[in-house]
């Protein structure tokens, strides 16, 4: 599913970065977490989410950034994406987060229809400055 997610966003993520990402998600002391939505009938993985809980400067409460959310194409429309978001909303209430936020492409209409049930999007524009990795010796 990770590869499908990267392909959807036309992102090329190396195997080394993928391995490091999943190690961090699985590490007990990490602030990066993962969720898997499963099909009720088969128990097969239908989708996943990776999220980061972090402090932020506009509140004493932590924020949660939903960095990755993907539902397998054959599982779209089954409620898997909505279930992941509802679970995160529940975690946010239980763990007293100040906010939960995420982004998607403007053209991702299908996902945006789900997201619009939770809240309206804001008017922020994202800027991304990418740095090259430091050379290794």
Question: pLDDT per residue over 11-28, tens digit each?
Answer: 999 999 999 999 999 999
pTM comes to: 0.85
Residue 132: pLDDT band by 50, 70, 90 thresholds?
A: confident
**Predicted pLDDT at 128:** 81
The domain ranges of the chain are 34-115
* Helix (H/G/I), strand (E/B), else coil: 3: helix
Neighbouring CB atoms inside 10 A of 68's CB total 19
**CATH architecture of structural domain 34-115:** 3-Layer(aba) Sandwich (3.40)
pLDDT higher for 14 or 111?
A: 14
Rounded mean pLDDT of the chain? 90
- DSSP readout, 53-102? EE--TT-SS-EEEEEEEEE-GGGTTTTHHHHHHHHHHHHHHHHT-SEEEE
The end-to-end CA distance of the chain, in Å, is 33
**Predicted pLDDT at 114:** 87
């Amino acid at each position: 599913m990770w590869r499908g997610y990267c392909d959807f966003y036309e992102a090329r993520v190396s195997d080394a970065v993928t391995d490091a990402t999943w190690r961090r998600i699985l590490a007990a002391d990490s602030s990066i977490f993962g969720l898997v939505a499963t099909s009720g009938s088969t128990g097969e993985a239908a989708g996943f989410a990776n999220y980061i809980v972090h402090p932020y400067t506009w509140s004493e409460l932590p924020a949660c950034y939903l960095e990755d959310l993907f539902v397998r194409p054959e599982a779209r429309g089954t409620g898997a994406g909505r279930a992941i978001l509802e679970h995160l909303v529940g975690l946010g209430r239980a763990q007293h987060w100040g906010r939960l936020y995420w982004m998607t492409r403007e053209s991702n209409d299908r996902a945006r229809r789900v997201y619009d049930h939770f809240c309206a999007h804001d008017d922020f524009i994202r800027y991304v400055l990418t740095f090259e990795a430091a050379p290794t010796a």
